[in-house]
């Protein structure tokens, strides 16, 4: 069974800061499986096996 988390980039958050957050999740074992954009937001879906 897997756990899932969403990471959302806010409108006023810099892209560099968001990339650092994505990399931190990846180093903790979370795997990005989907990326989408809605309005001014970038949303990444992460998956991690239990």
pLDDT in tens, 10-23: 889 999 999 999 99
- Asked if CATH classification 2.40.40.20 holds for the domain at 2-49, the reply, yes or no, is no
Cβ atoms of residues 37 and 18 within 8 Å: no
What pLDDT, on a 0 to 100 scale, did the predictor assign at position 50? 87
| Angle at alpha carbon of residue 25, lines to 21 and 30, rounded to 5° | 150
Burial 17-35 (b: 16+ CB within 10 A, else e): ebeeebeebeeeebeeeee
What pLDDT, on a 0 to 100 scale, did the predictor assign at position 40? 81
What pLDDT, on a 0 to 100 scale, did the predictor assign at position 39? 85
pLDDT in tens, 1-50: 899 999 999 889 999 999 999 999 999 999 999 999 988 899 999 999 98
> Could you please report the per-residue DSSP string of the chain?
-EEEEEEEE-TTS-HHHHHHHHHHHHHTT-EEEEEEEETTEEEEEEEEE-
């Amino acid at each position: 069974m897997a756990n899932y988390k969403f990471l959302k980039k806010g409108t006023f958050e810099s892209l560099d800061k968001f990339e650092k957050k994505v990399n931190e999740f990846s180093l903790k074992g979370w795997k990005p499986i989907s990326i989408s954009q809605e309005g001014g937001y970038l949303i990444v879906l992460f998956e991690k096996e239990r």
